[in-house]
Amino acid sequence: MARTIATLLSDFGHTLPTRTPTPKESTRREFTTAPSWRGRPTAGAGWVPSRPPVKQYRMTSDQVGIWWPLLTASPLPPTGAAMGTDVANGTTFYVDPHGWVLDDTIPVTNPNIFIFGKPGRGKSAWVKAFLNRMLAFGYQALILGDPKDEYEVMCRHFGVEPWAIGPGMPARLNPLDPGPLAADWDTLDADEHRRRTAIIFGRWVVLLRSLIGSQSIGHQKVPVGPTEEQILTTVLKHLTHATTDSRQLAPIVIGQIWHALQSPDPTLIDDLRYANREEFLRDTRLLRDAVAQLISGAMAGIFDAPTTITIDWTAPIQSLSLSRLEPLGDDAIGMALMCLNSWGTAMRQAGGRRRINVRDEVWRQLRLGTSAVASFDADLRLSRSHGDIEIANAHKPSDYLGAGHTGSQAQQIAQDLLHLGDIKVLFGQDAEVADDLEQLLELGPIARDTVTGWAMGSKGRALVAVGPRLHKVHLTLHPDLELPLTDTNQAIT
Amino acid sequence: MAQLVGLSLATFPTWIAISQQRWAASLGWAAVWLLVLALTVVPLGGRPAVGWLAAAAAFATAGLAGWLTFRSKASRGAVRDLDAVDMPGALAGVEVLDGPPTGWDQRRVAIIKNSAARTWAITARIHHDGVAMATDQTCNRYTAGLTELINAAARGELIDEIHLMVRATPDDCTERELWLRANIDPDAPVTSVATQLEHLRWSQAGIRTDTFITLVIPEARLAREARHMGGSRQGRLNTIWSLATEIGSILTGPMGATTVTWLTSPELAEAVRLGFAPGDRDTLTGAAHEATTNPDVNAHVPWAHAGPSYATAAVRHYAHDAWHTVTSTVKLPERGATMGIWGHVLAPSEPFERRCVTVVFPIEKQTVADRKAAQAEFGQSLGQGLRDRLGVRTGAKDVHRKHKLDQAEAQLAMGAAMTHPYAVCSTTVPATAPIAEFGRRLDAAIRRGSMAPQRLDMSQDLAFVTATIPLGISLARTTR
């Protein structure tokens, strides 16, 4: 007779839990009582006097579709910002990107929000209302470049003076600022130095690649390959003394990089395995000239000096006005946006509160070439890990295709970017844009009709795509609390 | 049957007059008989005149005797067992049992035993994305899913009714308020916090939608099948659960539901309580939230308190606690209807109004369906043959009817199931609101959906139960 599992385990000192014997169920028959369907005919029993004359239809099961009663979507959880009314079912529509990512029942895997809409349909009002509402939950807003100064009113309302940058302005912003990660450098051990250096250098190299790669020779962008990247990394190490001095991470500016390339240190030439100085200077001519453009061109005196502004890390909103760069053209604004991107990454490394990064007119940055697109792509991909909500504002989906020539790598990445935003807010569009909506966003004919029809009926109407689910949402603004902050037509009135 | 006997008896004066060769009198009595026939057979507002007389007599008798009114044991201080169901009229024979522990979380799903109808039922809450933003292709897929649901139920030959209930309830925003309390940052700017509070007030004008499905299984069919699953009550409960999992896979598959949660006894009690008193939701939600941190808080509704404290049936509405409800059935348009006709009905006209739509699919056994289809076809053919022989012209309506019968027979032969669905729609408002006006608005909403409303007068109590209480009480069951 084989031993039971319980006996076997007891030999090794384990005792299986035993189930208390359940009392034997009575075997009495079911339905021994037979009350009437009317209930009891006694006072206070609620007796039913008659059966309702309900109208029945006899049909085969293939015809039952007209009885389909599940018309409206079950509401999303009431978390995050209340962004208006879902007109399909009359419920309040809440937007909570982080909450949605964490909720498995909602088909959202990243907290990025892409907003598209014709100018004047309510894009900016939506973003500002969203920011105001999310600030209540401990979020901080960072406007990564405000080309039209439209966030200034909001910033001042929250007691924050927005910074303005441009030619001749006193404010300087150094994109190569190591940021809060360099704080207390001398107290950190070697492992922590290595970890932080890797993060900081990674950010710097991405930025420099983007800036250099955004410049053109004729129709071609300046190539930034592995050799150029190696040169930049080595220069940065030399300038910061990251590997030789553990007391501090020396702050650097772009101008110093140009100097280091123009007058190379012998150790730099050795480290980069060049035979002599002449060979080094010959091979890095294009790189040197591209860096020189950054400090002598349109951007001179803006991003090439140490940061002069004091950053309040606890302010609810921070914004950088770029309207003064407008006369320098789209490229200047695009490059400024890229530098700000890098600066925003540094701010993010301060940790602490969750942040909402707003990128207005994002198409300007995407036009700067593959590296610029790749840097934006990286931010979107990492939004899950660093806990930020990235909001990208554009007029139409095809803005993302302006990132490069047809079929180019930049355009391919930009097109794929659209899939990194699970939340899309689509304001009214003219019929010509409808094809983009169907093809690029793969939202189908319902979205197309809604955006070109219903959403054009009134300001503030938007089709919100939560993953594949679509909601027709009408933005509601409080007349006293929010309307003065979100009105973008002040310049006209 | 009673009507047939009555009609037969009503012919006697005619026969007597004929036997006495009093021809004038016989013609007079024949005319009287025809009048009686019309009053007995021709329906007006759903019932023939005789039916109205019977209903009115029963209603008046019950009203005078005080039977129409319900007073709960709790309101009389007479509760002995908190788990015993204490509900009015048609729900008096209902008992709720705990099913076998199932799934990884060992939930014990509630099984509803209705002794009056000799049926068992099980209820689930459904989440679905709806069809408001669905393409035609998706709508067609959902329609096919609903067909598949009925077919699967018919194939199993156990489920004889499926109830789909949608409740559009005023949003009390309790969850939102609790979330705000937990998540508002103490250092947040004043404007942002003030905006949240204003929005909380605004959001109470919104609605929330709850959807339930109930499967009803008659004991006559279940008892035999249950023998293979362990017999006795346990065998029945096991069989019902296996049916629920089978139907659940169709709901989440072809029908596109995102989640299907079969309700436990406390969850069902709450759904029933909120059916009678939608305004109780905020206190129940608040208690459930507090119970997560304070074990002394009781968040459950005992079955003895799930019904109304006081309820009474008026001729044109039903009063339950502090609420009044009007329920109507619908007549579909002759020209046919499209998917989505319930949209108008489910849109409350005021922020405090609740609307419900329940669609019930009574499913016939395949053999019965085949026989009935054959009979109808035979009747139609016979009628057509007579018309042809007499040279009577066949009208367009006759052709259409014949086409429908042919189609139904063909579909049955191809494996479709026969069902005779009906729908009841209700509006519930606080007792302080003019219920007659809201009844009219419900009628108007039904008409906007291209259907015709039919108020279920003098039966508002039973109609209310089917429309808003997800316990599987049928209006179509003719037994008992």
pLDDT in tens, B311-325: 999 999 999 999 999
Residues of A numbered 200-229 whose beta carbons fall under 8 angstroms of chain B's beta carbons: which are they?
A: none
pLDDT at B480: 40
pLDDT in tens, B54-78: 999 999 999 999 999 999 999 999 9
Correct CATH for A81-163+317-328+354-485 of 3.40.50.300, 2.70.70.10, 2.120.10.70, 3.90.1150.10: 3.40.50.300
Report whether pLDDT(A64) > 80.
yes
Contact A68 B131 (CB under 8 A): yes
Q: How confident is the model at residue A132 (pLDDT cuts 50, 70, 90)?
A: very high
Nearest to A137 among B184, B329, B362 (CB): B184
Beta-carbon contacts of residue A13 (< 8 Å; ≥ 6 apart): none
CA distance to partner chain A, nearest, from residue B452 (Å): 11
pLDDT in tens, A68-80: 999 888 788 999 9
> Which range is least confidently modeled, A255-259, B193-197, B212-216, B267-271?
A255-259
**How many Å apart are CA A398 and CA B365, to the nearest integer?**
57
* Whether B170 contacts B352, CB under 8 Å: yes
Of the CA atoms within 13 Å of residue A272, those in its CB half-sphere come to 29
pLDDT in tens, B445-476: 999 988 999 999 999 999 999 999 999 999 98
Q: What b/e string do you get for A136-165 counting C-beta neighbours within 10 Å, with b at 16 or more?
A: bbbbbbbbbbbbebbbbbbbeebebebbbb
Question: Rg of the Cα trace of chain B?
Answer: 26
CA distance to partner chain A, nearest, from residue B57 (Å): 9
Nearest to B206 among A90, A132, A135 (CB): A90
Contact B92 A46 (CB under 8 A): yes
Give the type of residue at A423. I
* Whether B470 contacts B214, CB under 8 Å: yes
Q: How confident is the model over B71-92, as a mean pLDDT?
A: 91
User: DSSP characters for B56-103?
Assistant: HHHHHHHHHHT-S-EE-HHHHT--S-TTS----GGGTTEEEEEEEEET
Q: How confident is the model over B163-189, as a mean pLDDT?
A: 93
B115 contact residues in A (CB cutoff 8 A) = 31, 33-35
Residue A164 has which token pair?
A: 């303005």
Average pLDDT, chain B: 89
Nearest to B207 among A62, A70, A91 (CB): A91
Report whether pLDDT(A493) > 50.
no
**How many Å apart are CA A22 and CA A18, to the nearest integer?**
12
Report whether pLDDT(A5) > 90.
no
* Whether A349 contacts A182, CB under 8 Å: no
Q: How confident is the model over A314-336, as a mean pLDDT?
A: 79
Report whether pLDDT(A339) > 90.
no
**How many Å apart are CA B300 and CA B284, to the nearest integer?**
8
Contact B191 A132 (CB under 8 A): yes
B313 contact residues in A (CB cutoff 8 A) = 46, 48-49
CA-wise closest residue to B476 among B313, B319, B360, B335: B360
CA distance to partner chain A, nearest, from residue B234 (Å): 9
Compare all CA atoms of chain A with the CA of B458 and give the residue at the minimum distance. A50
**How many Å apart are CA B236 and CA B219, to the nearest integer?**
9
Q: How confident is the model at residue A484 (pLDDT cuts 50, 70, 90)?
A: confident
User: CA–CA distance from B214 to each of A246, B90, B159, B250 (Å)?
Assistant: 71, 17, 10, 14
A90 interfaces chain B, CB cutoff of 8 Å: yes
Of the CA atoms within 13 Å of residue B6, those in its CB half-sphere come to 13
Q: How confident is the model over A399-403, as a mean pLDDT?
A: 72
Residues of A numbered 10-29 whose beta carbons fall under 8 angstroms of chain B's beta carbons: which are they?
A: 25, 27
Q: How many helices (H) and strands (E) does chain A have?
A: 17, 14
Q: How confident is the model at residue B397 (pLDDT cuts 50, 70, 90)?
A: confident
**How many Å apart are CA B85 and CA B101, to the nearest integer?**
22
pLDDT in tens, B345-374: 998 999 899 999 999 999 988 888 778 777
A65 contact residues in B (CB cutoff 8 A) = 142-144, 146-147, 339
A102 interfaces chain B, CB cutoff of 8 Å: no
A263 interfaces chain B, CB cutoff of 8 Å: no
Give the pairing of strands A140-146 and A317-321: parallel
DSSP assigned state of A350:
T
Other CB atoms within 10 Å distance of the CB of residue A284: 21
Nearest to B133 among A43, A90, A446 (CB): A446
A49 contact residues in B (CB cutoff 8 A) = 55, 58-59, 61-62, 67-68, 313, 458-459
**How many Å apart are CA B218 and CA B115, to the nearest integer?**
10
Compare all CA atoms of chain A with the CA of B320 and give the residue at the minimum distance. A46
A157 contact residues in B (CB cutoff 8 A) = 191
User: DSSP characters for A213-244?
Assistant: HT-EETTEEPP--HHHHHHHHHHHHHHHTTTT
Beta-carbon contacts of residue B379 (< 8 Å; ≥ 6 apart): none
What whole-number percentage of chain A has pLDDT above 90? 18
Q: How confident is the model over A280-307, as a mean pLDDT?
A: 81
Q: How confident is the model at residue A328 (pLDDT cuts 50, 70, 90)?
A: confident
**How many Å apart are CA B134 and CA A454, to the nearest integer?**
16
Contact A92 B206 (CB under 8 A): yes
What whole-number percentage of chain B has pLDDT above 70? 99
What whole-number percentage of chain A has pLDDT above 70? 90
Give the type of residue at B109. V
User: CA–CA distance from B146 to each of A286, B217, B330, B449 (Å)?
Assistant: 68, 18, 20, 20
> Which range is least confidently modeled, A261-275, A277-291, A408-422, B409-423?
A408-422
Q: How confident is the model at residue A429 (pLDDT cuts 50, 70, 90)?
A: confident
Beta bridge partners of B326: B427
Q: How confident is the model at residue B212 (pLDDT cuts 50, 70, 90)?
A: very high
A327 interfaces chain B, CB cutoff of 8 Å: no
Q: Given CA atoms B284, B285, B288, B293 in this order, what sign does their dihedral have?
A: negative
Q: Angle at which helices B2-10 and B23-41 pack, to 10 degrees?
A: 160
Q: How confident is the model at residue B434 (pLDDT cuts 50, 70, 90)?
A: very high
Nearest to A39 among B90, B144, B195 (CB): B90
* Whether B100 contacts B238, CB under 8 Å: yes
User: DSSP characters for B430-461?
Assistant: ETTS-HHHHHHHHHHHHHHTT-EEEE-TT-HH
pLDDT at B431: 95
Map out the domains of chain A as residue ranges. Answer: 81-163+317-328+354-485, 180-295
Give Dmax over CA atoms of chain A in angstroms.
Answer: 111
